[in-house]
Amino acid sequence: MYRVVSIDRDEMTKNIQIKNLETGTVDICFDDSSLVSDENFDFMREGNEYECKIKLFGTVVSDMQENAVLCKIVNSCIIVGTKKMVEVLVGKDKYYIPEKKISNLLSSKEIIFKFTRKDLIEVNHIIHADLL
């Protein structure tokens, strides 16, 4: 469960700061769901709590560097909408990476992933239209 700390709105997109109530981690997540569907995440409000899935957007790298995190692969066959995702843990925080990004590394227990942003892909069982 996550609590919305703040919402920074641009013309068509948002950066939503959410806090994981279990771990205390605060993430800034990109949301462009209103650009692609009327069924989007515009219902989110500061101070309210939601079930969220967050996708790491980036690439696998061979060593630790800025914005790179050690990801423990915990489930390699998650479906979000119609897309295959891999569930990973960064510390105690759960994130999702598109399976096609790491398909040749699924036998590994851990990967190093350099993310450029974090995207909201599901909120309270509403799935981002890009994954449908």
CA angle, 64 then 21 then 35, to 5°: 75
| pTM attached to this predicted model | 0.95
Asked if the model's pLDDT at residue 105 lies above 90, the reply is: no
Amino acid identity, residue 22?
Answer: E
Give residue 47's pLDDT. 98
Give residue 125's pLDDT. 96
Give residue 106's pLDDT. 84
Residue-averaged pLDDT of the chain: 96
For the stretch 83-93, pLDDT in tens is 999 999 999 99
- Residue 132 tokens read as 């449908």
